[in-house]
Amino acid sequence: MSSALKEKIKHKAKEIGIDKIGFTHAEPFYDLEDKLHKQKEKGYTSGFEHDVIEERIYPDKIFEQPKSIIAIAIAYPSKMRSKPPRVKGERRGEFARASWGIDYHDVLRDRMDRLIEYIKDETSDETSFKPMVDTGELVDVAVAQRAGLGFIGRNGLLITEEFGSYVYLGEIITNIEFDSDEEVPFGCGECTRCVTACPTGALLGDGRMNAQKCLSYQTQTKGYMPKEYRRKMGHVIYGCDICQIVCPYNKGVDSHFHEEMEPEPEKTMPLLKPLLTISNREFKDTYGELAGSWRGKKPLQRNAIIALTNYRDRTAIPDLLKVVDTDPRPMIRGTAAWAISKILKKEANPEVVGFLEEALEKETDPETIQEFQEAIADMKARYDEA
């Protein structure tokens, strides 16, 4: 029965908007055990991963009597159909491609729920399922690779033949036994373009990374972004696509199969200045459906300040001074102080220095005090140069 059912499931998957599907056994992922423990020991994890390593390796620790895992992939666009009009003096940020359209977690869950309902209708009441996306226990790319959807590239992403690495992944553990699909062999060869292009050196070259160095991770943290990453962030305020953009497998790939994944230009390339003072309600109404909103507005506001700095946008100085004066969050005020000193890099401006010194007297957070002190010292040093 499983062979015939498998073909039916493949047909149904295509019908409901799943672009690629594969099947594999539910044996432990033994090859991950040493790698995951070493990553954690070296401090290379982001903290966003499932914390119990054994549950990431052994499906039987999270599901009773697992027999198979169904892996799915949904392709997403790599180019916008239209971009906001360019207006002189307006500076925009950008969300990375994986955050375009409706939150992919919701899209994948919908597709998997519909597929599960179909399989239930085709089988007995004794069948059981556990769907998950990247917030689940299993390692998505490892499941997808073993199920034949593609191979794990040097950048740690799954690379498919049809859609490159521009795919969202999900998996379903089940107690139904299916024949496993054939794995795809490693296809990067000697190519190391992603490793070379990574601006922070996060990629280790063998599919692993130091997640702490990854710009995508850095844009999602809630505290101060370390100074060594601020300039490298550019104007992308959520995520990072560099290792995908340079990948030869992604050349010319641009999939527009799902309307809910199409980006809204004003959301995915937002004006930066309005982000500095956006209310919680406005943020939720405007950006709440994006995957990039999951950490709330604080990291994105911090990143918007950094992006304005990287633009060297002098017109943002009044907005940043207002942030220093009125924003209730120390980290945002401190980042704004840093930004002011960098934007006014070539100017000796005693009025601004005086403003920052007065603001510093009210600060009590040690990190924020240091940001202010360094910004003030940096600006005062220009008096001697002037």
Is the distance from CB of 293 to CB of 283 less than 8 angstroms? yes
Specify which residues 92 forms β-bridges with. Answer: 271
Amino acid identity at 288? G
Task: Look up residue 58 and give its two tokens.
Answer: 């052994």
Kindly report the length of the chain.
Answer: 386
Please tell me whether residue 362 adopts helix, strand or coil conformation: coil
Closest CA to 19 of 136, 111, 105: 111
Calculate the CA dihedral of residues 21, 95, 56, 45 and round it to 10 degrees: 150
CA distance 323 to 339: 11
Using DSSP, state whether 238 is helix, strand or coil.
strand
The number of beta carbons lying within 10 Å of the beta carbon of residue 196 is 12
User: Annotated active-site positions, please?
Assistant: 134
* CA–CA dist 125, 120 (Å, integer): 7
Q: Which tokens go with 174?
A: 């089940």
334: tokens are 């401190």
